[in-house]
Amino acid sequence: MKMKFAKSCLVAVAAGLMTTNIAMAQDDKAASLDELLNMVKESRIQETAEHKKREQQFMREKNNQSSLLKQAQDTLASEERRSERLEQTHADQELEVEAKRKQFNERLGSLRELFGHLTSTAGDLRATLSTSLISAQYPNRGEFLTGLIDKMNSNTRLPSIEEIERLWYEQQRQMVESGKVVKFNGTVIKPNGDKVDQEVVRIGSYNLVSDGKYLNYIPDGYKMEELTRQPDAFLSSAEELQGASGGLVGIGLDPTGPTGGTLLSALIDSPTWEERWHQGGGVGYAITVVGIIGLIIGLWRIIYLTMVNAKVNSQLKSEKANTNNPLGRVLKVAEDNPNVDGETLELKLEEAVLKERPAIESGLAILKIIAAVAPLMGLLGTVVGMILTFQAITIFGAGDPKNMASGISSALITTVLGLVVAIPTVLLHTIVNGRAKRVIHILEEQAAGIIAENAERK
């Protein structure tokens, strides 16, 4: 019974150890219970040794951690002492810096005011050089000014005598060069984008001219561009200046050149008469057509009535009626009816005068209508243009007054066109009407005279 219990215990122990020593159990299989017992004993001894080894390693690490903690505490104390020393050193150095600054200000004295003036002068000169046309010939003149200004504003650096003298020199050179007309070679950007090296004439600080064309100076990159649109009125003088080697040459200059050349830009950007006419749009074209029609009719009627007036004057000097003029045809009626009574003759002459009136007064109604309609058409175009302008303001806002002024200017073009058509048409109507009335007056006068002579004879 004891033997069976012992075997059961050994089997249980072996089964428990098999989970921790599977590899060994698989490699070394026990042939008997004694061998299994020995194997269990050896495994327990081995595990005990391993446990002791782990305990020893844990104790070494524990001792090492204590050493590291002691070392960290020593380092912390050392750094705290070092921090206290640095704080004391910083406080001492602040006192020393304050004393040195006071000493610096005392020794600087009136130079501080001088540096203030130099800083202001250098800043103004830097702004002037950045936009001056002279920089197209002498680029990169103002780059040293930034460093000079930094030095004069610094508490640790001072400008050198050479830098101050260079500031004076650049200021003097700017003034001297602004009064010269010189030629130099430079790169000119054509309207198509090509870059061409050619001779450039600089007229002081006002304008640049090259190859008979005006140039636009771009400070960013010191570029010179040929203007897309040229002031045609001054191109001939620009060519003359380009080819001159001395003497006086008259040329158009932009007095605002040193400040950006706004006058030349405005002059170039101003639309021509043709461009303004196109701004009138469809209404403007219609007004132009109406004006041309009125002009043709007016000139034609003036020429026709002038010829009629000449023939009538010739008929007044002749005793025989000529049917190539209105007066001759009226007189012909009197000659053809010599024996009729006065009332009949009066009616026949009135009828003859009435027949001549439409041909003489032809075109007057059309001229009168054109003179009245043209301003109304111009007003219509203005109202339409203003509507479009306010629609643009609604969409894009009124932040840029130039856009509003441009739209209003375009809207008023039709009003100008309407007045340009109406005023000459009124004058033509007056001239034509006056000549027509003169001819009709002669016809009526001669008819009345014939009637009076006929009544005297009766």
Residue-range definition of the domain harbouring residue 67: 2-78
Residue type, 30: A
Would residue 273 count as lying in a domain?
A: no
Does 345 share its domain with 396? yes
Does 213 share its domain with 297? no
Q: Residue 97: CA atoms inside 13 Å, Cβ hemisphere, count?
A: 8
Across residues 41-69, what is the average pLDDT? 76
Would residue 266 count as lying in a domain?
A: no
Does 313 share its domain with 430? yes
At 375 the pLDDT is: 93
pLDDT tens, position by position, 120-153:
999 999 988 888 888 888 888 888 888 888 888 8
Does 437 share its domain with 317? yes
Would residue 222 count as lying in a domain?
A: yes
Nearest Cα to Cα of residue 374 among 292, 258, 313: 292
pLDDT tens, position by position, 270-329:
777 787 888 888 888 999 999 999 999 999 999 999 999 999 888 888 888 888 888 888
DSSP secondary structure of 321-368 = --TTSHHHHHHHHHHH-SSS-HHHHHHHHHHHHHHHHHHHHTTHHHHH
At 9 the pLDDT is: 42
Does 72 share its domain with 209? no
User: How many structural domains is the chain composed of?
Assistant: 3
* pLDDT-derived band at 19, boundaries 50, 70, 90: very low
DSSP secondary structure of 28-84 = S--SSHHHHHHHHHHHHHHHHHHHHHHHHHHHHHHHHHHHHHHHHHHHHHHHHHHHH
Would residue 237 count as lying in a domain?
A: yes
Q: Which of 449 and 22 is assigned the larger pLDDT? A: 449
Would residue 131 count as lying in a domain?
A: yes
CA distance 363 to 293: 11
Would residue 383 count as lying in a domain?
A: yes
Does 438 share its domain with 333? yes
Does 178 share its domain with 63? no
Does 159 share its domain with 35? no
